[in-house]
Amino acid sequence: MTEGIFAVAAGLGEWRAAAPGAVSFPEAYRWLSFSPLPSAVDGFASVLDAQIRLHAFAPMPGYVELAWFGPAGLAVFIGLVAGASRMGAMATRASPPAGAAANLLLIACLYLMAAYPVRTALKPLWLALAVSAAALASARWRTPVPRPTGRQAHDVAHPIL
């Protein structure tokens, strides 16, 4: 349950000990880490060799990868989390079960960031956005369009020319 704490601590130790510029990810690795598409579609498999691991069996935690990605990568991540949080709140108003599912997926993403690379940990976030979008679209589809009544109906039927 707490393995992520130790992985993040070990990864941050390596990040702080590394000389500035000693560790750099290719731009393609950085930006494809945020892609929701499968590796076969976006070509992430071709840059996977650039992944830095703590150990052969322990990947670098996503939070540490974000530190190495720099301010731009961190800003993208914060924007994604803020957007998913906002959409989850809106989905909760439209459909409480869908909103709960979206928010649990967002929490899973934040939890997984402590143990897995950014690309892997963001999968639940993409699902949260999809669930929220589906709940919001469904709520709009179910909401009836108000029809004009009384004087409004007369004005619509007989516009002033």
% of the chain beyond a pLDDT of 90: 47
CA distance 3 to 110: 14
| Domain annotation covers residue 157 | no
User: Whole-model pTM?
Assistant: 0.78
Instruction: Give the chain's domain count.
Output: 1
Token pair belonging to 88: 């989850």
Question: Is residue 151, in this structure, part of any structural domain at all?
Answer: no
Q: Is 59 helix (H, G, I), strand (E, B) or coil?
A: strand
Per-residue pLDDT averaged across 5-32, rounded? 75
Q: Residues 85-112: what's their mean pLDDT?
A: 95
On whether residue 117 sits in a domain, the answer given is yes
* Domain assignment of residue 103, given as a range: 3-16+23-141
Q: What angle (nearest 5°) sits at the alpha carbon of residue 86, between those of residues 81 and 89? A: 125
For residue 35, tell me if it sits in a domain: yes
**Does the structure show a pLDDT above 80 at 129?**
yes
Q: Quick check: is 149 in a domain? A: no
Residue 135 carries which side chain, given as an amino acid letter?
A
Amino acid residing at 58: A
CA–CA gap between residue 86 and residue 141 (Å, rounded): 20
Q: Is the pLDDT of residue 91 over 90?
A: yes
- Establish if 62 belongs to a structural domain: yes
Residue 158 in domain: no
Residue 53 lies inside a defined structural domain of this protein: yes
Could you tell me the end-to-end alpha-carbon distance of the chain, in angstroms, rounded to an integer? 71
